[in-house]
Amino acid sequence: MAETKRPVVLITGASSGIGEAVAERFARDAGRRWRLLLAGRDETRLGEVARRTGGVALPGEDLDGLAGVERLAARALEVAGRVDVLVASAGIGWAGPFTRTPPETVERLVAVNLTGVLQLVRLLLPGMVERGVGRVVLVSSMAGCAGVANEAVYAATKGGLLAFAESLRYELAGTRVGVTSVMPGAVDTPFFARRGVPYHRTRPRPVPVGRLAELLWGAVVRGRDEVFAPRWLTVPARVRGAAPGFFRAMAKRFG
């Protein structure tokens, strides 16, 4: 009985980076004693994270296709019976001029960063609504909020998550199911090494991944809709909304 009462969180991309750090932060929340379901493609690393956090590893599912997403959702529900919180942190990047972006890269970025997330939410959200409790956490990016040169496709996928989140909030009003958008700048993870192009900007400086995980966990337990990391990024986000022409001029000048 005690096991069934513990809240269940499913974290994608949990074998490294943001997902790994988020799993570790939820594991330290002794007050709620979350049941962790950890999804990732690197089975060895995912197993190590599961051992450290006491979570259940759900390895191997590729989220760039509907079949993999459906298998992950089914396995999560089979193991825990429900998902109370979904943290969709799995994602990939690519940097370079849009005119040189390979077509298969466009397809994969959209599939992993956007379509796969929407399909996973589609499968898990009805249960949250039926139970009258839950939260969907979408790890977007400041690139999706403001756009970034030479990362047009990546920014488009992350911007799509923001529009999706805002739309869901309207639909879910009164259901006690919340949606959190996470908008970090650069984060100190292996992300940039994996995309093949290092992070080269002076601002914003990469955020420690543990700090982002702390902010994300806090948003879940406090029911917050938006997370900026670092927090001062709320300023350029608001400036862009209020004065887009001025914002674009500054972005072109200072990068």
Mean pLDDT, consecutive 10-residue segments, the chain of 255 residues?
77 95 94 93 95 95 92 97 97 93 96 97 98 97 87 96 97 97 84 69 79 96 92 69 64 61
User: Considering only the top CATH level, what class is 2-254?
Assistant: alpha beta
Per-residue model confidence (pLDDT) at position 251: 67
Token pair 């994300």: residue:
216
**How confident is the model at residue 252, as a pLDDT?**
60
The pLDDT of residue 148 is 86
Residue in this structure with the two tokens 């998550």, named with its chain if needed: 161
Q: Which residue has the tokens 């992950």?
A: 72
Would residue 154 show up in a list of annotated catalytic residues for this protein?
A: yes
pLDDT score for 30: 76
Distance CA(226)–CA(139), nearest Å, equals 10
CA distance 184 to 204: 10
Residue 149's Cβ-side half-sphere holds a number of Cα atoms within 13 Å equal to 8
- Note the pTM of the prediction, 2 decimals: 0.89
Question: What residues have CB less than 8 Å from 212, skipping those under 6 apart?
Answer: 18, 21, 182, 184, 187, 229
Which of 26, 34, 94, 154 is catalytic? The answer is 154
CA 49 and chain centroid, separation: 18
φ/ψ bin of 115: left (φ > 0), alpha (ψ from -120 to 50), beta (otherwise): alpha
What is the model's pLDDT at position 127? 97
Encode 160-192: b = buried (16+ Cβ within 10 Å), e = exposed: bbbebbeebbeebeeeebbbbbbbbbbbbbebb
pLDDT of residue 29: 92
